[in-house]
Structure 1
Amino acid sequence: MVSRLLRATERRAIVGLSGLYATRMLGLFMVLPVLALYAGELEGATPLLIGLALGGYGLTQAILQIPFGLLSDRLGRKPVIAFGMLLFLAGSLVAASAESIALVILGRCLQGSGAVAAAIMALLADQTREEVRTAAMASIGLSIGVAFAVAMVLGPWLAAAFGLGAIFWVTAALSLVGLVVLWGLVPRAPQRRHRDVGLDRAQLRSVLGRADLLRLDFSIFALHLLLMALFVAIPLRLLDAGLAVEHHGWVYLGIMGLAFVGMVPLVIIAEKRRRMKTMFLLAVAGLGLCSLGLGLAGEGRWGLLGWLLGFFVAFNLLEATLPSMLSKLAPAGAKGTAMGVYSTGQFLGAFLGGVLGGALVQWGGLEAVFYGAALIGLLWLGVIAGMAPPPHLSSEVVALGDEPQDALDSLMERLAEVAGVEDVLVVPEERVAYLKVDRQRLDSEALARVAGKREE
């Protein structure tokens, strides 16, 4: 149904920007399952520095993603995205030609400095109407999940066939393809502000003051910290279990496929049966338990693979449901600001996870990483145990048409009186109202009347 509602320019924007986002994330993630295996050949490599190379992109990404988003408001989306892609290209070239771990770290940090995620999301919002924007944003989320799964399989195959440098050369080529897509496929769009997508500095303090949102920020921080920390050790543990490097891609292919299948019914339970908090707690407990199991599995192949599968079922479940929870909890019109803080936590987690994982391997061995991850999972469980179940609310954006200013001034109160509308923010300069609604209780006809629409 949604695809039939899309205009040609919207379809081009969604396909182009989802592909651009996916190729960028593919380049960042392809080194994850292989760097610990191959970086030992680089000059000066130590486990700590290998971990820093894994997570280094997260530091520059966390520092620069909000400034890049704000810069795109001033200079335009496409020029800022293109500049970020050129930085990503430069980082890929530095890492591809590196003969020392220091240059790989520099290359990874340069890759992360092309922090254009917020600008890409803003451009997609500029290109789409309110009624299709949620589906458009979901396509970006889907592209990230696909890119991660492909990277886990493609990275080991490329490295086994052509060496570590090949991954960065392919990443550089993908950057060039991304630039062609940006300028050749993605249409031009008017530059507008969207509070549900971009960062609004006026809302930042209120978002940072919400304990429920901070729990989710900590959760995405911890999730990516665990991912990066464990992947300093997991490739080496697979090698110890007798799985040859050239077969790691097949291992990850099977695990990622089964983990996706295992995740789907859990997402349905969380969303459709409104068991979001229960699934959240179970997933975090599962991550901690699987981390412990990976440490205790030793060199036993099937135990190792079983615990790794369990880890990725829980990981995929959280990757799918945490943004949904954030959308439910964020105040009307503040989802973009809340997502900016959330994403910053994600990238900081990736950086610190790489550093922590490398430090634990260097000073305590592989088992120290898994036991440390289990402790982090226990801490995380304590942080979220007292949270209230998130309300099952959806975001709605209503276009306001050409109503005069005096009518807009009273519109918020009238919208708030509609059954099922839980929160309202009217933004006259955007000519839209941002709503949080309970769809099971929403009186759609009353909402259409108040918003000045006519039923077809």
Structure 2
Amino acid sequence: MHQLNSLEKRAALALALVFSSRMLGLFMLLPVFALYGAELAGFSPLWIGLAIGAYGLTQAILQIPLGWLSDRIGRRPVMLGGLALFALGSVVAALADSVYLVTLGRILQGAGAIAGAILAFAADVTREEQRPKVMAIIGASIGLSFAAAMVLGPLLAKWGGLSGVFWFTALLACCAMLLVAFLLPNSVNKAPMAETLALPESLGAMLKHRQLLQLDFGVLLLHLMLTAMFVVLPSLLQHYGLVSTQHWQFYLPLLLGSFVLMIPMMLIAMRKAQEKGFFLLAIALLSAAMLLAALQPGFWPLTGALLLFFIGFNFLEASLPALVSRIAPAGQRGSAMGIYSSSQFFGAFLGGVLGGTLLQHFSYQALFAALAVIGLIWLAVASTLLLPPRAQRLSLRLSVSNTEQANTLAAQLTALQGVQEVTIVLAEKRCYLKVSSAQFDTAQAQAVITAAGA
């Protein structure tokens, strides 16, 4: 029971490949569009930002609704439909001769918002005790796809220009559709939805949860800063003498170095119980990096600034979803993660708009300075973040029939040692628990449920 079985391994691999291929296609435009898009009609700094960030708007709008739809018509149809939209958007962008059509293509790419359906499918086919491993594998694929995009984007643009990048993205989408159609296991079982998908009745509560809103605000700013930076970064590297065909040689060691330097931060933060301190340090690194880039022109100061930025970015990209999962109330993690994901993509859209606007009307120094200020604002907001103790999440089956029985049982379970939160979802016939694993006795909780006739 402590290892993934063959079905779980197959699902984890296939879903990670589908997720990462889609994100790879979205990310590959970042390091190349500011350079290769100059040949397009209507090209301007503002439209650089709009084209880069446009996918984030439709992703943010459709992320939660498509998750709900997958619960109605099935995961596979939603995933196939989303990937088809992604492929269509890629083809539109590949054939475009104006920046406006490229932006339309990016909007269509973003409309294939299938993250919720992918995670729900992962939950459907995995055992509860193995589910965190599968989710972690899928989550890690995002970071790997970003690193790969920084290298592959410039290489593909060197070979086939901007259209070559989009044709490759369309090919990735078609390969992902084949994975969904033929490699993913068939499943008619459905996992508890409250911990996987956003529920309409939970969204209001999540939007009032102060700690979760701080994290949603944080990931919005994180991706705003990333997207806005790439509006100017490729052109700036070329200005400093690094031709576009060499940009991958710049990004690769930079990202590898940032990963190597980020890992000790993660280990110390977890082992020494200093998560908040390192969380704030990572935000400070973002702001310091942008300030250095604004005040010290030149290739080497920019290189140092980007190394600092990506150390902080990688740490936060890994930490933020883990904190959301940890803070989210029992039985409401799906809703919390749905809002978090929408905030992330909306941040990418805002970053494109902000970056393009500042670059068109001011200078790259003004853009970096604005991002440094945004980092400081985030640092001030995050300084009030309260982290709860680590907890294990469990779900137990019930047969309660009314609210009165559910309230009585919830009170009895709350009184057990080690129980931090109890949520009973009548529609699912399930009880969700957040517990301290060192103190909680599962058998005792099951006995309470049995004695209550539930």
TM-score (norm 2): 0.94
Counterparts of 1:83 and 1:337 in 2: how far apart (Å)? 23
Q: Give 1:447 deviation, angstroms.
A: 5.0
Aligned to 1:252: 251
Residues matched between the structures, number: 447
CA deviation string 1:87-145 (max 9, x = no partner): 00000001111111111101101000111111111111111121111111111111111
CA deviation string 1:357-413 (max 9, x = no partner): 01111111211110110111111122222232x01323422343x767699775433
Aligned to 1:396: 393
Q: Give 1:429 deviation, angstroms.
A: 4.6
Is contact 1:395–1:434 with CA below 8 Å preserved after alignment? no
Q: CA 1:211–1:408 in structure 2 vs 1: closer, same or farther (change >3 Å)? A: closer
Map residues 6-405 of structure 1 onto 2, 5 A cutoff. Answer: 6-190=4-188, 192=190, 193-299=192-298, 301-388=299-386, 390-400=387-397
Q: Give 1:430 deviation, angstroms.
A: 3.4
Is contact 1:60–1:109 with CA below 8 Å preserved after alignment? yes
Counterparts of 1:7 and 1:409 in 2: how far apart (Å)? 37
Q: Please say which of residues 430-439 and 133-142 is displaced more in the overlay.
A: 430-439
Residue aligned with 2:434, SS:
strand
Residue aligned with 2:201, SS:
helix
Q: Give 1:296 deviation, angstroms.
A: 2.1
Counterparts of 1:191 and 1:67 in 2: how far apart (Å)? 21
Residue aligned with 2:318, SS:
helix
Runs of 4+ in 1 over 4 A off after TM superposition: 402-411, 443-452
Q: Please say which of residues 442-451 and 284-293 is displaced more in the overlay.
A: 442-451
Counterparts of 1:115 and 1:243 in 2: how far apart (Å)? 35
Residue aligned with 1:425, SS:
strand
Is contact 2:396–2:432 with CA below 8 Å preserved after alignment? no
Paired AA for residue 275 in structure 1: Q
Q: CA 1:191–1:56 in structure 2 vs 1: closer, same or farther (change >3 Å)? A: farther
Q: Give 1:76 deviation, angstroms.
A: 1.2
Paired AA for residue 216 in structure 1: L
Is contact 1:393–1:436 with CA below 8 Å preserved after alignment? no
Is contact 1:73–1:191 with CA below 8 Å preserved after alignment? no
Q: CA 1:449–1:135 in structure 2 vs 1: closer, same or farther (change >3 Å)? A: farther
Q: CA 1:382–1:408 in structure 2 vs 1: closer, same or farther (change >3 Å)? A: closer
Q: Give 1:302 deviation, angstroms.
A: 2.0
Q: Please say which of residues 21-30 and 235-244 is displaced more in the overlay.
A: 235-244
Identity between Structure 1 and Structure 2 (%): 46
Counterparts of 2:412 and 2:446 in 1: how far apart (Å)? 12
Paired AA for residue 314 in structure 1: G
Taking only aligned residues, the RMSD between alpha carbons, in angstroms, comes to 1.9
Counterparts of 1:247 and 1:412 in 2: how far apart (Å)? 61
Counterparts of 1:290 and 1:450 in 2: how far apart (Å)? 54
Flag structure 1 segments of 5+ consecutive residues without an equivalent.
none
Residue aligned with 1:423, SS:
strand
Counterparts of 1:242 and 1:167 in 2: how far apart (Å)? 23
CA deviation string 1:171-227 (max 9, x = no partner): 100111011000101012125341001011111111111111111110000000000
Is contact 1:398–1:451 with CA below 8 Å preserved after alignment? no
Flag structure 2 segments of 5+ consecutive residues without an equivalent.
none
Counterparts of 1:12 and 1:263 in 2: how far apart (Å)? 30
Paired AA for residue 252 in structure 2: L
Q: Please say which of residues 49-58 and 132-141 is displaced more in the overlay.
A: 132-141
Q: Please say which of residues 155-164 and 344-353 is displaced more in the overlay.
A: 155-164
Q: Give 1:80 deviation, angstroms.
A: 1.2
Counterparts of 1:37 and 1:450 in 2: how far apart (Å)? 65
Paired AA for residue 206 in structure 1: A
Is contact 2:400–2:426 with CA below 8 Å preserved after alignment? no
